Amino acid sequence: MSAIDDYQPPLVAILRGLTEAEAPAVAAALFYSGFRILEVPLNRPGALECIRLLDRIKPGDALVGGGTMTTVADVDAVHAAGGRIMVAPNFDPAVMQRARALGMLTLPGVATPTEALAALAAGADAIKWFPAETLGPSGLRSVKTILPPSARLWPVGGVSAGNLHEWMRAGADGFGIGGRLYEPGIALPELESRARELVAAWRAR
């Protein structure tokens, strides 16, 4: 069993464009609605400051980290800010090695069987199947058949409460959800509604 399985449900809230001003309320709404893994992508201003803030307010059973982490410097910066999960759009052995050396959980992005097997051999805690809306559930199902039973595949891209069950039937073990969950400036009641719907869909599997 991967250590990433300790964080349930296995749903990552991708908070692209989050600002420090809205971070506390957004995080509180997501934690209240059942989410336990929050990711702030680094390719927007203020990401590290948000990670630092979220790390201070997260519950003890929650995990905060960075997304779009493509360099060793990204890993060092997120770790220094309190982030403990590395999420990347690609698989880079040097980035993975540094994250693992710092004790971070790792979720590298892959799009082929070759990348998936290489990421697992390097010690990935789970694999980000990305871009999921292009690769599709059938692609995930095929790749899953050649991976070890312990492998965790998490689709990211186009995932919603409406298609969660289709992905789970294909073998998905967790998910990253971005624009179908959070967008900058979203009203908190709408965010909570989306979050609860996703958690309920996962629990109804």
User: Which domain CATH number covers 137?
Assistant: 3.20.20.70
Assess if residue 1 is contained within a domain.
no
**How many other CB atoms are found less than 10 A from the CB of residue 111?**
19
Q: Is residue 69 part of a domain?
A: yes
Residue 179 and residue 190: Cα distance in Å, rounded?
A: 13
Residue 2 belongs to a domain: no
20: left (phi over 0), alpha (psi -120 to 50) or beta: alpha
Catalytic residue chosen out of the listed positions 22, 39, 58, 144: 39
Average pLDDT over residues 104-111: 98
Helix spans in the chain (H): 23-32, 47-57, 72-80, 93-101, 113-121, 132-144, 164-169, 188-203
* 128 assigned to active site: yes
pLDDT in tens, 38-84: 999 999 999 999 999 999 999 999 999 999 999 999 999 999 999 99
Segment 20-50, tens digit of pLDDT: 999 999 999 999 999 999 999 999 999 999 9
Does 121 map to a domain? Answer: yes
pLDDT band at 108 (very low <50, low <70, confident <90, very high): very high
Share of the chain above pLDDT 70, in %: 100
In angstroms, rounded to a whole number, what is the distance separating the alpha carbons of residues 147 and 174? 16
Domain membership flag for residue 118: yes
- Considering the domain boundaries, does residue 145 fall inside one? yes
Q: What is the residue range of 63's domain?
A: 8-203
- Does the residue 78 lie in any domain? yes
**Any catalytic annotation for residue 58?**
no
| DSSP state, residue 126 | S
- Rounded Cα gap, residues 48 and 41, in angstroms: 9
3-state helix, strand, coil in the chain (%, to 5): 40, 15, 40
Nearest to 115 by CA among 138, 97, 89, 78: 89
State how many domains the chain has.
Answer: 1
pLDDT at 1: 56
From 128, 144, 166, 197, the catalytic residue? 128
156 CB contacts (<8 Å, ≥6 apart)? 12, 14, 109, 128, 129, 130, 131, 132, 175, 176, 177, 178
> Is there a domain that residue 3 lies in?
no
